[in-house]
Amino acid sequence: MGFPPFLIPFAELEVGQHLYWQIGSLKIHGQVFITSWILLGALIAFVVVGTKKMERDPKGIQNLLEFLWDYIRDLARTQIGEKVYRDWMPFIGTLFLFIFVSNWGGSLVPWRLIRLPSGELGAPTADINTTIALALLVSLSYFYAGLSNKGLRYFEYYVHPTPIMLPFKILEDFTKPLSLSFRLFGNILADELVVAVLVFLVPLVLPIPVMFLGLFTSAIQALIFATLAAYYIGEAVEEHH
């Protein structure tokens, strides 16, 4: 749904316009799929190249990958706890790497050079559908983590200090994915919008510091999403005494 007053050349600012692909009765946003496939391919290629010839003394890409592994393990261990963090480390790591690569890929790769019939290529996380899918995955996993670790005793969590908390805890199950998805979507879209508006006003030099700020907040948002996902899982598997 475009908005007529924004038809001026607003630095290629096209919010709410997409490249639609029709699959059955579903309309999907094609530009999100194109960028996420390219970025996922790049990520997988990077990891495959880095782990091809493993050495005892890590160098180059292998060194970077081992640093990332350590980083994600520390994140998962501090949030989820010593006992079950190993089961959830791959999930947390995948979330972190996918969001990080999407955010940075969206702003570092000059997607604007590729013309699409409608809409434009950009960070996959600047589309609400991607972030809601990720947030719902987190919801499913903390339910699964709680139920598989504690069985039906998981539901003690809902009445934990007092039964008065029950409605709030149920409400929390809905607000968690909502805030997770909106936080990521809003931040990434805001970065893109701020840069686009500044490029429209002052095309030279001035947008560069804002772009760096955007890179910084994108990285922080990936970290926040992964940290919160791990925290929710940790909350679900935690034993109350």
Partner 1 sequence: MDSITSAASVVAAGLAVGLGAIGPGLGQGNAAQGAVEGIARQPEAEGKIRGTLLLSFAFMESLTIYGLVVALVLLFANPFAG
Q: For partner 1, give the closer residue by CB, 157 or 231.
A: 231
15 binds partner 1 (CB under 8 A): yes
* Region of residue 120 (phi > 0: left; psi between -120 and 50: alpha; otherwise: beta): beta
77 binds partner 1 (CB under 8 A): no
Tell me the one-letter amino acid at 76: A
User: At 135, is the secondary structure helix, strand, or coil?
Assistant: helix
User: At 40, is the secondary structure helix, strand, or coil?
Assistant: helix
42 binds partner 1 (CB under 8 A): no
Q: For partner 1, give the closer residue by CB, 2 or 90.
A: 2
Tell me the one-letter amino acid at 180: L
Neighbours of 19 (CB within 10 A): 17
Q: For partner 1, give the closer residue by CB, 131 or 146.
A: 131
d(CA 181, CA 139) in angstroms, rounded, equals 11
Choose one: 25-33, 80-88, 147-155, 178-186; the region binding partner 1 (CB under 8 A): 178-186
1 binds partner 1 (CB under 8 A): yes
Q: Which residues bind partner 1 (CB under 8 A)?
A: 1-3, 6, 15-16, 179, 182-183, 185-187, 189-190, 193, 217, 220-221, 223-224, 227
